[in-house]
Amino acid sequence: MTTPPTTGLPALTVQPVQFSSDYARWREFYLKLGLRPTEAVDPMVTVLTADSGQLMLGEVPVGHPLDGIRVQLAHRRQESIAVDLPQGRPVVQVLGETGDVLGLAAELEDRGLQATVIDESYGRSLRVLQPNGRQLYINETMHDLYGYHRLDD
């Protein structure tokens, strides 16, 4: 992993929020993905940490306007943030990558998650089944850049 350029600003941790009435199931899913509990004390959310970012998971009652607002997150580096508006509700999608999708897939399956490696012409990616039935996408670091150059090299 490369070090980002110095901006002179304090370090920033990406910290998306997810709300769910099925809190226990989502917490278990994220722990199996490799996120870890923190000692942060917040009466509204549980803060889970990853190698490069955190997730704030909040419990809400069934039918609450925030119920189901979800976050898709990557395993290693958060490189881009996109906003989508399905059914008029905001969703934050944080994308990233891992250096070894095969190793990560095996590790996640050992933890009880359904993980499938997809080999496409531009590289491999991993699909992990989430508690809501949708798939989480984790891309493998590209080594063949098809003639392009990385800006951070």
Tell me the two tokens of residue 105: 């897939």
Rounded alpha-carbon distances, angstroms, from residue 106 to 7, 113, 114: 37, 10, 10
Q: Which CATH superfamily is domain 17-140 in?
A: 2,3-Dihydroxybiphenyl 1,2-Dioxygenase, domain 1 (3.10.180.10)
Q: Whole-prediction pTM value?
A: 0.68
> Is 34 buried (19+), middle (13-18) or exposed (0-12) by CB count in 10 A?
middle
pLDDT of residue 122: 74
pLDDT of residue 110: 94
- In the chain, the amino acid numbered 4 is P
Tell me the two tokens of residue 66: 């925030």
**How many residues belong to the chain?**
153
Can you list the alpha helix ranges (DSSP code H) found in the chain? 23-33, 101-110
pLDDT digits (tens, 9 = 90+) for 88-113: 455 555 555 788 889 989 999 999 99
pLDDT digits (tens, 9 = 90+) for 109-123: 999 999 999 998 778
